[in-house]
Amino acid sequence: MVADIDKFNYDWIKECMRVLKDDGTIWISGTLHNHPSIGFLLKKMGYWIINDIIWFKPNAPPQLQPNRLAPSTEIIWLASKTKKYYFDYEKAKELNEGKQMRNLWVITAKRHVTKHPTEKPEELLERVILLGSKKGDLILDPFMGSGTTGVVCKKLERKFIGIEIDDEYFDIAEKRIKNHKILQAPNFSFKKKILESDANRLIILD
How does pLDDT run across 60-104, given as a tens digit for each residue? 989 999 999 999 999 999 999 999 999 999 999 999 999 999 999
- Residue 53 in this model has a pLDDT that exceeds 70: yes
Residue 131 buriedness (CB in 10 A; 0-12 / 13-18 / 19+): buried
Q: Looking at 57-176, which runs of residues are DSSP E strands?
A: 73-80, 104-106, 138-141, 159-164
CATH of the domain at 148: 3.40.50.150
Domain end among 76, 109, 142: 109
On whether the CB atoms of residues 118 and 146 are closer than 8 A, the answer is no
On whether the CB atoms of residues 35 and 77 are closer than 8 A, the answer is yes
Domain interval for residue 190: 113-206
CB atoms within 10 A of CB 59: 9
What distance in Å separates the CA atoms of residue 42 and residue 167, rounded to the nearest whole number?
30
- Residue 187 in this model has a pLDDT that exceeds 90: no
Q: Is the same domain home to 79 and 6?
A: yes
Q: How many CA atoms lie within 13 A of 64 on its CB side?
A: 0
Q: Is the same domain home to 3 and 103?
A: yes
